[in-house]
Structure formats: structure tokens, C-alpha cells
Amino acid sequence: MIVAAWEASPVPLSINYQRDRMGLQTERRLEQFLQLADLPSTQVSSRMEFSMPPFQLYVECLEEHILLTLSREIEDAYQGTAFVKSLSAYHPARTQGTPIRTWQLKGKQMLSCSPGKYSDVSHWLACLQTMRRMLEIIAGGHR
């Protein structure tokens, strides 16, 4: 009888489960990050998306790990050049050793990084700012 009540629940259980796994400290750190990054958010969740023209930011919480992904549209004619620039523009010292992954998806140049589990919010912000500067350099005036 109780099993039927769980199955009939209008709220997907996986969302609640992910939120519970996020942890209160991570949730508070995400709130602080959003505030410092000047990103509008009424509620912190395990997956968030923000439009910051010309960029798109995706923030994901995978258990206690944060994944930041920033994208920018690149004109078709410049995608090859942009990708090569993205491979050479990264220097680990800019993100205190946090690796940045680069790839292209549907006409967008994507950069992603996952700061350490116990890293400070200021490090998250530095990673975001570094990826933003990298995308500005990579685009080089080309959309």
C-alpha cells in the first residue's frame, strides 16, 4: 500500500534524492557562488542554467562535486580555429591546477571544469572568470 503512494507521487523522487545528496554545506556554498557571480536564482538545485549573453552557464552538483560549464556560440567558419585556440589558451596556473575540458557542441565552444570537492567558493568564481576570459580570447571577435 505504501509503495503505491510512492509511485503516485507528483514530485519525481530522483530530484528530491539528488537534492538530499547535495548536502546543506554544498547548497549554501552554491548560494554564495550565485550571489558573488551576480547570477539570479530563486532556488538552488542540482542542475541550473543561466544566460549571460553571449555566454551560457551550466552549474551541476554531482553528489558533493560542482561542475561548471560555460559555452559561447562560434560562427561555423571559425569553429576549427576556435577549437585549436581553446587547446592552447589553457594554463593550469590560471585555475589553481583545476583542469578545464574543451569541446564543441552544436556550434558552441564549451569549456568545463570541476573544482575540488573542498575548494572555496572564491576558487569556483576564479574558474568561472578564467573560462569566461578564455572564451573571449578564443572567439576573438567571431561569434
C-alpha cell at 12: 519525481
Chain mean pLDDT for the chain: 81
Buried/exposed 61-82: b ≥16 CB within 10 Å, e otherwise? beeeebebbbbbebeeebbeeb
Helix (H, G, I), strand (E, B) or coil at 20: helix
- In this prediction the pTM is 0.79
- Which runs of consecutive H residues, i.e. helices, occur in the chain? 2-7, 13-22, 24-36, 79-89, 121-139
Q: Which domain holds residue 106?
A: 2-139
Residue 83: which CATH number? 3.30.1460.10
Q: Is it the case that residue 142 has pLDDT exceeding 70?
A: no
Q: Is it the case that residue 4 has pLDDT exceeding 60?
A: no
The pLDDT value given to residue 111: 95
For the chain, the domain total comes to: 1
Q: Is it the case that residue 47 has pLDDT exceeding 50?
A: yes
The Cα–Cα gap between 122 and 91 comes to: 18
